[in-house]
Amino acid sequence: MSGIVTSDTHAENRQREDICFWAGSLFARGLTGGASGNISARTADGGLLVTPTGSSFGRLDPARLSRLDAAGALVSGDRPTKEMPLHSAFHDTRAGVGAVVHLHSTHAVALSMLPVDDPDDFLPPLTPYALMRLGKVRLLPFFVPGDAGMGEAVRGLGGKRSAVMLANHGPVVASKDIEAAVFAMEELEETAKLALLLRGTGALGLDAGQVRAVVDKFDVEWDG
């Protein structure tokens, strides 16, 4: 019977609204500008809702979000972001992922252009909350935007990381839902900002024992 609104339809409509709400919030606070950044969210039937290519986070239309089926084919809405290989890699390889957020946030990008001690652990351990929300963040090399190699690099991590930093490009975070992914992304950007503010000052971050205490208490995925 036509016209029946199911619980799955309600849930998807809510996801559409959530994507637009959080995207608008990120845009309004200057965490991504112009037509940069993209978000994807897993739907109840195994498909994806994705922000369209060339769209601004400041004026997304819930009805025009790209709707992909479980096989990755576009079934409605505008054409999806060119970074689909990146999003698909997280959704396909990491258990429990409900949403992926990719931004071009200023401080994280700036930090990615500076020498790092360990690309496998890009963010310095400055606060417990970055550890709790992100675990270790892997710095990946530069890829031309839209390059399928980005997705291949994420797949090469075997689902062991919830966040990566694309050098000279921007951070990518996966989490259980849109809100959690946005919160984790904000923590990444704030930690990068702290790292830049404190660079060369001799400020003390968390030592190895303190890191381990946080990792153990909050069951942070860390050693893989």
Q: What is the pLDDT of residues 61-119, one digit of tens each?
A: 999 999 999 999 999 999 999 999 999 999 999 999 999 999 999 999 999 999 998 99
User: Which domain does 161 fall in, by range?
Assistant: 7-217
Residue 48 β-bridge partners: 42, 68
Q: Is residue 222 part of a domain?
A: no
Q: Characterize the bridge pairing of strands 170-175 and 38-42.
A: unpaired
Q: Is residue 224 part of a domain?
A: no
Q: What is the pLDDT of residues 128-143, one digit of tens each?
A: 999 999 999 999 999 9
What pLDDT shows up at residue 97? 98
More confident call, 120 vs 4:
120
- Catalytic residue annotation: 129
Cα–Cα nearest to 9, from 81, 62, 71: 62
With 0-12 / 13-18 / 19 or more C-beta atoms within 10 angstroms meaning exposed / middle / buried, residue 209 is exposed
R_g of the chain computed on alpha carbons: 18
What pLDDT shows up at residue 224? 63
Q: Is residue 160 part of a domain?
A: yes
Q: Is residue 196 part of a domain?
A: yes
What is the domain count for the chain? 1
3-state secondary structure of 41: strand
Q: Is residue 2 part of a domain?
A: no
Structure tokens at 128: 């417990």
Q: Is residue 168 part of a domain?
A: yes
Q: Is residue 1 part of a domain?
A: no
Q: What is the pLDDT of residues 159-201, one digit of tens each?
A: 999 999 999 999 999 999 999 999 999 999 999 999 999 999 9
Domain CATH number, residue 154: 3.40.225.10
- Beta-carbon contacts of 46 under 8 Å, excluding residues fewer than 6 positions away, are 69, 70
Q: What is the pLDDT of residues 1-47, one digit of tens each?
A: 345 556 789 999 999 999 999 999 999 999 999 999 999 999 999 99
What pLDDT shows up at residue 1? 37
Q: Is residue 223 part of a domain?
A: no
**Largest CA-CA distance found in the chain, in angstroms, rounded:** 68
**Considering Cα of 188, then 192, then 198, then 200, what sign does the dihedral take?**
positive
- Beta-carbon contacts of 120 under 8 Å, excluding residues fewer than 6 positions away, are 136, 138, 139
